[in-house]
Structure 1
């Protein structure tokens, strides 16, 4: 082995790829800080305004019949309490979004999905007034793929903390709760740990793979250098 060449490679490659090590270690420190400063993720349990089950007058089959047209193939039916009243939330193969039929009088309301989401957000934020600011069908830089559930509504509380929540009417729950400070920490962590400042995912994955392999290579060179420069026995 040429110990001089190995030493030179180890030195310069170590310098180049140490940036990645610094980012990874920095994100590790920040992760520990975030476990102290940020609340755990919201529980994925249904949340709404409750309902009067005694007011239910329609069966599931009758509710589906209210949708009109050809009888759709039903994938799922949930009974939701919205505004204190029972509503059937119906998923069919012909509709991308859930459809809502009143379990009391059979009324179909296309706007009920957003109203249900707003009710979930308000209850989660202890009655605070909320405003819908987005409807996400794809992940973005704030609502990233680790939250898994789409589509979701975004509601802002408009308070001094810039509080916002993301709501899924499919699960009937808040999937993410954040504010200005929490999002700042989360953004720094994403940029350090996952190189989130690179917008294209394929490019980001390639860079992560290259720098990770570079760290592996530097470690191998260090091991080789140890054996190449060890004192020889007399």
Structure 2
């Protein structure tokens, strides 16, 4: 018997043997995968893309150092201006990363009672454009099934609005962002995805069982696709067979590769996630101390703001641990940094802006589709920054890059000699994706002994994410092969539509037709 005939017989026998388990597995993961696409395409959507803005006016304000001292605050993790309901700016003070933020009026240093709760409601109404009464407000410090770890941000306010749709907003006041938004339909779709796609319901102590069963079932899909390709190569047909067999073979030519892509990348992701469970690396910076003799930025505000559109003021640590005022400047009106896709052609790496002073001009997202696209892609929100010494008021020569290196050094513990590259990231990509919700950030690549990339936010001295070098191949594979982000030129909406159509085609032509053929064959043999 020739090798071709042996290959044909072997692949046919194994393909037939795998048909039932493979077909069932495809229905499980195909339908649950479609639930995720449906959730992304039709889930609740914010009506405003950008956070609210406020005019920062400190010329007649009480010095923030005096405000802190008067309230018994010696050290703070973060101090910065945030927009308020009246269109003006407030000082937001973070003493404990997992506690309520405190808010003070710049004019007289008066503290706003229940300020964090009020700020969360203000932000939620801004982003969602709703006047519905709030049924409940909960300060959440842990992830749960409704707000899983992929959202990254904690703590958040969980605000449930009155109404039949179950609209719920998760607001992260530290970054003035809408961390997530749910309604009744999205909750159901999330439950389907967790139940059938990730099997998140399996108890932690039985993680090994979850990984084993999913690997075997999804592995059957990979084996089904491989044996099917072997049959297509070994068994040539001059004309299409009638009925289901003919259509099944035609579908195999088109769908074998997508099936291998989904299943192989899914197994890779599953195994790596089991070996090193994914976690949020978001970490606030070290406490900052403002002594009573600190230079008040408010004193020279008129000269400082003359001719400048100042978007924010925050306190950060410099390279020597000294307190610095970071004066964030607004982008030119009508300009938005970032691109309209999340991957570039340069080997799949994120695209970076090396000149923050001249961002690419882009229209503000307004429609649901534009906002959804912008949220996944990420668009640069601010312009360059000026740093002033909080003790003397002198302009610091260090810019954002030097501050980013100082922040990365504090979190990595490695010397600058270990730094291989440092650059500004202005849009999301496979290594720093939309779940982090912060842009721009600085990417600092370390060699030995760190062997990892740190993403830091110079605006608040925060470590946003950390990606070890050995994790990067899996992130690339999962993004490009499992989620099909290589289709970035057609946009997020088009990408999800294409992936959804292929998933439906796999279900109909491969699973249902294949199962029908398998059941008929088994019934025939049972006669």
- Check whether TM > 0.5: yes
Q: Which moved more, 1:190-199 or 1:102-111?
A: 190-199
Checking the alignment, whether the CA contact within 8 Å between 1:64 and 1:90 is kept in structure 2 is no
Paired residue for 1:45, among 283, 301, 311? 283
Q: Which moved more, 1:179-188 or 1:125-134?
A: 125-134
Q: Residue by residue, what CA displacement relative to the aligned partner does 1:142-168 show, whole Å, maximum 9, x if unpaired? A: 434444422222222231664322222
Q: Residue by residue, what CA displacement relative to the aligned partner does 1:196-222 show, whole Å, maximum 9, x if unpaired? A: 455635475564244223213324545
Which residue is 2:385 aligned to? 98
Is 1:208 paired with 2:499? yes
Which residue is 1:176 aligned to? 465
Paired residue for 2:480, among 178, 185, 191? 191
Which residue is 1:20 aligned to? 258
Distance in 2, Cα, partners of 1:96 & 1:55: 31
The answer for unaligned runs of 5 or more in structure 2 is 1-240, 332-381
Is 1:8 paired with 2:295? no
Checking the alignment, whether the CA contact within 8 Å between 1:47 and 1:172 is kept in structure 2 is yes
Which residue is 2:183 aligned to? none
Which residue is 1:117 aligned to? 404
Tell me by how many angstroms 1:223 deviates.
Answer: 7.3
Distance in 2, Cα, partners of 1:161 & 1:186: 19
Checking the alignment, whether the CA contact within 8 Å between 2:324 and 2:390 is kept in structure 1 is yes
Superposition CA RMSD, Å? 3.6
Is 1:34 paired with 2:262? no
Q: Which moved more, 1:104-113 or 1:204-213?
A: 204-213
Checking the alignment, whether the CA contact within 8 Å between 1:31 and 1:189 is kept in structure 2 is yes
Q: Residue by residue, what CA displacement relative to the aligned partner does 1:38-58 show, whole Å, maximum 9, x if unpaired? A: 46445323225x543216523
How many equivalent pairs are there?
227
Distance in 2, Cα, partners of 1:160 & 1:85: 27
Sort the Cα spacing of 1:204 and 1:71 in 2 relative to 1 into closer, same or farther, 3 A: closer
Secondary structure of 2:291's aligned partner: helix
Which TM-score applies when normalising by structure 2?
Answer: 0.37
Q: Residue by residue, what CA displacement relative to the aligned partner does 1:10-33 show, whole Å, maximum 9, x if unpaired? A: 343145323322222222221222
Sort the Cα spacing of 1:38 and 1:66 in 2 relative to 1 into closer, same or farther, 3 A: farther
Q: Which moved more, 1:24-33 or 1:215-224?
A: 215-224
Sort the Cα spacing of 1:65 and 1:224 in 2 relative to 1 into closer, same or farther, 3 A: farther
Checking the alignment, whether the CA contact within 8 Å between 2:284 and 2:461 is kept in structure 1 is yes
Which TM-score applies when normalising by structure 1?
Answer: 0.75
Is 1:70 paired with 2:307? yes
Distance in 2, Cα, partners of 1:187 & 1:176: 16
Distance in 2, Cα, partners of 1:205 & 1:126: 41
Q: Residue by residue, what CA displacement relative to the aligned partner does 1:63-118 show, whole Å, maximum 9, x if unpaired? A: 6445252364x443222222222212233436712332222111223634222211
Secondary structure of 1:54's aligned partner: coil
Is 1:138 paired with 2:376? no
Secondary structure of 2:470's aligned partner: helix
Distance in 1, Cα, partners of 2:497 & 2:468: 31
Sort the Cα spacing of 1:161 and 1:75 in 2 relative to 1 into closer, same or farther, 3 A: closer
